[in-house]
Structure 1
Amino acid sequence: MQTITTVAELRHVVARARRADKRIGFVPTMGYLHEGHLTLVEASRAQTDVTVVSIFVNPAQFGPNEDLSTYPRDFLRDQELCRDAGVAIVFAPDVQEIYPTQFETFVEPGELAKPMCGAFRPDHFRGVVTVVGKLFNIVQPDVAFFGQKDFQQCAVVRRMAIDLNLPIEIVTVQTVREPDGLALSSRNRHLSEEERRRALAISRGLFAAADKFRSGERDVEQLIAIAKAHLNTVDRLQYLELVDADTLKRAESSLRRTAALCAAAYVGSTRLIDNVILPLSTP
């Protein structure tokens, strides 16, 4: 495994792989890797010849009062996990490498970035698509892999790739969970034992609504109410929305298309997000 810190060296190494007719897979991360990230690596290794993992805590996607300074970091551990998982290249640039002095060009996302997380973190997705766009240009992968837990992010990134004619396939991999249902997240480490128990309310609520959906319930307000009834142990529910899986617009009163039930909540000072997909055939 190679660990590379500069754009120039990474482009040189990837170009060499391309000359050997290798298919490039890319897993962008902010580090503090967990089994969810490693599942993305596994998917990349199954579909491509060379897997590149980026580890970069992107300051552009954090708001002024968010957890940039406390976001968990353990680069040596991340390297070891990548090595054991069969990653070919770890790209670990510093902030100056990605945002050099006088950097001033950003990618502006559209309507998909406005609801849910976008309503509470107004510049978040601007930072996400800017750094992902830069990483796509640097790595130039054939396929990029993202986790379903960040459902809105997947939709925004996919839209960017389409709108900017990027020749990259975007693959979404199912959320990886703890045995008790808690969605894996780097931020979970901030939860105390008591907070972690209360955080289970999020997945329990989503699962309860999904069970009712599988039993035939299609009423949007009923499905939301079923999920919300489980969420009284979180400290602050930021949003709980049932949206069209393609447009992210709020679902109609009765579901007729595949939808996503998405939640964001604070447990203690930790913000957690999760979702479940409610699949319906599209007319």
Structure 2
Amino acid sequence: MFNYNGKLFSDETQVLSHTNRGLKYGDALFETLRCVHGTLFFWEEHYFRLMASMRILRMEIPMEFTLEFLEAEIKKTIDGNQQDNAPVRVRLTIFRNGEGLYGPETNDISYLIETKTLDSPFYLVNEGEYEVELFKDYYVNKDMLSNLKTTNKLLHVVASVYAKENGYANCLLVNTDKLVVEGINGNLFLVQGNVVKTPPLADGCLDGIIRKKIIEIVSAAEDMELVEESISPFELQKSDEMFLTNSIVGIQPISKYRKKEFGKNISKSLVGKLNARARMSQTN
């Protein structure tokens, strides 16, 4: 079942019309997050990112759209799918209502909540092979819209097709300055010695929730240094480790880029600390 504007519908129900602006113009935002035993991981961060993004896109935020209201709607969807005791992937999509061309007739919104069970309640390090390559056919723009989690993801879709056609697990995206920005589905971190480096938001990467958590964890560690600086493609093969982050996987180590193979020691250390922060969100 899914939740459309507060009502639960079976998966076979068609609720979106041909006028839907998310379909016609990509006029939509979304959040994906984990829920374990009724606790939404890092829910406050997801909620405030969503509210800020809606304001940037001039969407009208309904009065009832409190943190508590949306949390209750998510949990209602989970209950409707009988997933109360399972780890769950949640996707919350917000799209602008009404007709119109590029100019919308209204800034009112609708919401859609979908849930799917996950294999593990906490983040795990993938010990398998995970090879990546640069995708250079199209570029990420260096602007605030690239920082938002919108449904305008054609670049990422085409990069995913390229990765599948060429046998890669993922691709690294570059911006208009030919700097490495992120992966298809997550933020990028490099490890060189005790330095953990990630691109700044000004380069066009997603303002990721787990990105923020890793920055907090590394910044607080006495034996590591966090650096937010642009990453050149030439730096990739000089790194000791590389990994991607997102709210569902947590930390995904990269095992190989071209001829260079990478370790996973820092990734394994950080995933334990990330799980500790997720557990803290359960008790708060």
Shorter-chain TM-score above 0.5 = no
Q: Which has the higher helix share?
A: 1
Q: Which has the higher strand share?
A: 2
TM-score class, shorter: 0.3 to 0.5
